[in-house]
Structure 1
Amino acid sequence: MTNEQTAQLILERALPLFKRELNVQYRFKVVLDHFDEQFNFYMIRYKPGHITRVTPLHHVRSSWIADLEEILDRINQQLKLTVVFAGFEGIKWNSKNTYIQRPKRDAS
């Protein structure tokens, strides 16, 4: 499956979950699974006073940051949501040379 097809599949699964409601926050969460060497995509729906809903959207069997960057760019063209990353501590984007997720500080 190409990156374009992957992004389209994620969008097809995410768009029905995205409803413009009052006081509701939507986010994408991308998790790097080091054990299976894959990216996991989730949709998070948060409304104060309600249960936070996390819906799995898709997983991509790749650990190439360039692939992730292309997929997120294609998704962001249609659906502009905040993206939260997990498991990317100390890893940099290929094109921007900035950290995806800041490295954790030492507690010393």
Structure 2
Amino acid sequence: MARRTQELGRFTDVALLVLISLAEGQKHGYRMIGDIEEFSGTSLEPGTLYGALMRLEERGWIEPVASAERRKPYRITPGGRAALGEQLATLRRIERAGSTRVALGPA
């Protein structure tokens, strides 16, 4: 039986995906797009990614890294790492609740 998750739409937060990607080390935009697709199966358009980068930079959760290359790499900040940790803890609670409720089935 084929999986039906695609019918539900995307369950992703682009900012979360970017923070996860940068938690591994600094990357430029196109490298992030490839990394995010590899670990999450989510294909991002450049405009979507760069909008998220701008919002994350405004919050102080990521910062650009000086580079002699044309591409602009980013890295996660300590505040971004803390925000990522909090969000992942929330997702673990959601996953536990969902798994428990699926196992219980309908009342």
Same fold per superposition (TM over 0.5): no
Length-normalised TM-score, structure 1? 0.32
Pick the structure with more helix per residue: 2
Bigger radius of gyration, 1 or 2? 2
Length-normalised TM-score, structure 2? 0.32
Pick the structure with more strand per residue: 1
